Amino acid sequence: MSKKAIRHKIQMSVVVKRTNTFAVRPLTDDDEQVLRDLLDASAALWNEINYQRLMRYNDEDGFDGDVWEADTGALEGKYKGVLGASTAQTVRRANTEAWRSFFRLKKKFHDESNNSVTEHPELPGFRGNEDDGRVLKGVVRKDAYTVEWGDRSRLEMVVGKELRDKHSSPKSRLRLEVVGDPNWPDYEDQGRLELWYDETDCTFRASQPVTVSEETRDAPLADHKAALDIGANNLVACTTTTGEQYLYEGRELFQRFRETTREISRLQSKLREGRYSSERIRRLYRKRTRRRDHAQEALCRDLLERLHAEGVDTVYIGGLTDVLKTHWSVETNAKTHNFWAFKQFTERLVCTAEEYGISVEVRSEAWTSQECPQCGGTDQTIRHQDTLTCPCGFEGHADLTASETFLRRHQNSESSDWRTRHDVSRQRQTEKAVRPMARPVRFEWDSHEWLESPRSHRPKGQRTDPSTVHCDRNVASGKS
């Protein structure tokens, strides 16, 4: 092996991928309009490329290859006056990556020997339309922008010649103010920048993939693990090997979602024959989606900040099939599948986790919601609302118990495999075990952020009969 190859191999072994996510603010009203025009043109180009490829996919019964025959070069030329040639090319490449990912997942789905994909993947989607309001989202090539961090952090990026004289920035680059501090300010290299407009809080945001060295990254403090139980009434129940438990409640959030859905249905019933929507209905759909997405984003960030501070480097999450099998009722499936948008939440969790250096692994959580952590039985356990009981005497919070069982199952599995391979001592295994659970911390959504509930140290499942009222009872585990 040559010295150059050896040096490259060493460099690759000490760098990791991370993401800086931050808000950006136009300096003037003209700058904001330029940014909006830029993102709108980027979304429009994506849609036109996607439409051309979708037509070819449908015409040829989804044959992999014909989608690449779309005349994307002509479409790039149509928009490069606004976007710039490099950005127009980057939009086309991003769409190409989305289609290639779709075909890879489709191949795995049809492979009977591969169980990693259990549902048919969705085709690359569109970003709204001009009449109903397009999703303002775009990408910028890695060498077409710069970010300067400091007391007055700023982002500069290339725009097309049609926009060069419409903003206050010097030369041909649009300058934006960066709000907040980066998680990874000292990076070796930067990737393609993603920009979008967050309609929930009326803010422009950016995502910057970066490569950082092992020596400078803000690594987790330890190798602790966490497991999440995605539920219907309680959106997320989390247990960590440090002994912490978190519960994010979702009843009020789902109630607002359902009220908006009912209003949409009422308005649809009053439409004239032949009409299927109206501007008011479309606004309600957008409002409902924005509320959900805002709560998801805030939950992911709040939870992962806490896990990172505890030294968690891996989060286990159940697969979608396991979730829907567990929550079998029609109403619960509506909560878990439609309202909570499990796939979208998982993708958002993975993206946010990358910022903190935390990996997310999808594992089977079958039967964790029915298994008694005290005796291991599943046949005679009974779940009533938030409480799980067992004839052996166990009583605890159902979702927190499920997340704890989920975590212990995969911790024990990994420890067993590792012990078999390396013959480690029992003391080492004890150190990696899940610690005794502390009282769970509960969170409620106030439409802006997740706040600790006044009932945080007194979960709903806790009883007040005279035999337990003075005990420091752990409701999740059933231990006193």
pLDDT digits (tens, 9 = 90+) for 373-402: 888 888 888 888 788 899 888 888 888 998
Q: What is the pLDDT of residue 435?
A: 62
Work out the pLDDT band at 221, boundaries 50, 70, 90: low
Alpha carbon dihedral 381, 234, 226, 308, in 10-degree steps, equals: -160
Is residue 183 domain-shared with residue 124, that is, in the same domain? yes
Using left for φ > 0, alpha for ψ between -120 and 50, and beta otherwise, residue 280 falls in alpha
At residue 293, the pLDDT reads 83
Mark whether 278 and 418 lie in a shared domain: yes
For residue 87, the model assigns a pLDDT of 93
The pLDDT score that the predictor gives to residue 461 is 40
Note whether residue 383 is domain-resident: yes
Q: 27 with 111, same domain?
A: yes
Domain extent, residue 278, equals 224-452
Task: State whether 204 and 99 are in the same domain.
Answer: yes
- For 27, 42, 109, the CA distances from 120, given in Å and listed in that order, are 45, 28, 6
State in Å, rounded, how far the first CA of the chain is from the last one.
61
**Residue 56 within any structural domain of the chain:** yes
Inter-residue contact 440 to 397 (CB < 8 Å): yes
Q: Which candidate, 272, 353, 292, places its Cα nearest to that of 317?
A: 353
Which of 138-152, 368-382, 403-417 has the weakest average pLDDT? 403-417
Looking at the structure, do residues 165 and 240 belong to the same domain, yes or no? Answer: no
- Domain total of the chain: 2
In a domain, 194, yes or no: yes
Q: Cα(145)–Cα(323) distance, rounded to whole angstroms?
A: 41
Q: Is the pLDDT of residue 313 over 60?
A: yes
Residue 300 lies in a domain: yes
pLDDT band at 121 (very low <50, low <70, confident <90, very high): confident
- Is 2 part of any domain? no
User: Quick check: is 356 in a domain?
Assistant: yes
Mark whether 76 and 181 lie in a shared domain. Answer: yes
Residues 142, 182, single domain; the answer is yes
Task: Give residue 247's pLDDT.
Answer: 94
Are the CB atoms for 229 and 318 separated by under 8 Å? yes
Burial class (CB in 10 A: 0-12, 13-18, 19+), 469: exposed
Residues 309 and 334 in one domain: yes
Q: Are 37 and 132 within one domain?
A: yes
Residues 93 and 202 in one domain: yes
Does a structural domain hold residue 48?
Answer: yes
Residue 29 and residue 370: Cα distance in Å, rounded?
57
